[in-house]
Amino acid sequence: MEEATTRDSARTFTVAAVGDLHYSDESRGSLSELVRTVNREADVLALLGDLTTHGRVRQVEQLVEDLAPVEVPIVCVLGNHDHEAGEAKEITRTLCDAGVHVLDGDSVVIEGVGFAGTKGFAGGFGRGALAPFGEDLIKEFVQHALDEALKLENALRALNTPVRVALLHYAPTAETLVGEPEIIYPFLGSSRLLQPIETMEADVVFHGHAHHGTRHAVTAAGLPVYNVALPLLREDDEWVHLWTIPLPDRRGGEDDGSGETEAVGPEGSVIDEELHR
């Protein structure tokens, strides 16, 4: 069986991950170093939401132009800023037309590595998570977080790959928020996102949104979670977070070794009943 085309003969695979580019009319030409790093070091670029500042199509059109020199596949999820102007569908269409894999409860396989993603949502963590009780608006808020968790579960379930990567904008754990004011934690993520990730046994999670949080944490189940918000990376003079993993040998017919991307849609699934309580 021919091995996939990767940058290392020992079959390693490197993800370059970054979120919160907050691209605006003033950002044009600002990503040249990011592009150089990705082309030199990575096999895929993962963008973790808030691609734009105000969610305008013209902003993502300009971003696409700046990312045109990227030589590897690009996968992304949208963030809250990308929904601000009510143009999220048009933004998604523009990205897809440029060859970007936009994940919204979807999955894609790149060189044998599976990526599942969705935006995620807010609501808080653990015992402090907002409960679906009282006014309809509160119940609708919580339901949206549950819906995002279900979308991520379905996307992960659809993958049959030895390595599975979960992509979010909102944080699934409070540990990568340390450094932000604790009072705003409920607006930065939801622990409801973590259960499907751990249940479906993802290998790693990347998220953004928390500009002043902590870059890396490990959950109680041993799952590595990386906060890759660009303002946080820039504190260490970095443009992307690089995550490299050795790939298993594909002898046995799991893959044809072509290294091409394959889109995978979510299949029917229900999230653990505990999540709906």
Q: Find out whether 147 and 120 touch, Cβ atoms under 8 Å.
A: no
What distance in Å separates the CA atoms of residue 202 and residue 251, rounded to the nearest whole number? 22
Q: For 7, what's the count of Cα atoms within 13 Å in the CB-facing half-sphere?
A: 14
What distance in Å separates the CA atoms of residue 111 and residue 92, rounded to the nearest whole number? 23
- Measured over the CA atoms of residue 21, residue 225, residue 260 and residue 88, the dihedral's sign is negative
Q: Find out whether 158 and 208 touch, Cβ atoms under 8 Å.
A: no
Q: pLDDT, tens digit, for every residue of 53-73?
A: 999 999 999 999 999 999 999
Q: CATH homologous superfamily for 12-276?
A: Metallo-dependent phosphatases (3.60.21.10)
Confidence of residue 260 (pLDDT cuts 50, 70, 90): very low
What distance in Å separates the CA atoms of residue 155 and residue 269, rounded to the nearest whole number? 9
What confidence score (pLDDT) does residue 268 get?
A: 38
Q: pLDDT, tens digit, for every residue of 209-246?
A: 999 999 999 999 999 999 999 999 999 999 999 999 99
pTM score: 0.87
Assigned token pair, 12: 């390693």
Confidence of residue 9 (pLDDT cuts 50, 70, 90): low
Q: Does position 77 have pLDDT exceeding 60, yes or no? A: yes
**Any idea where the domains of the chain sit in the sequence?**
12-276
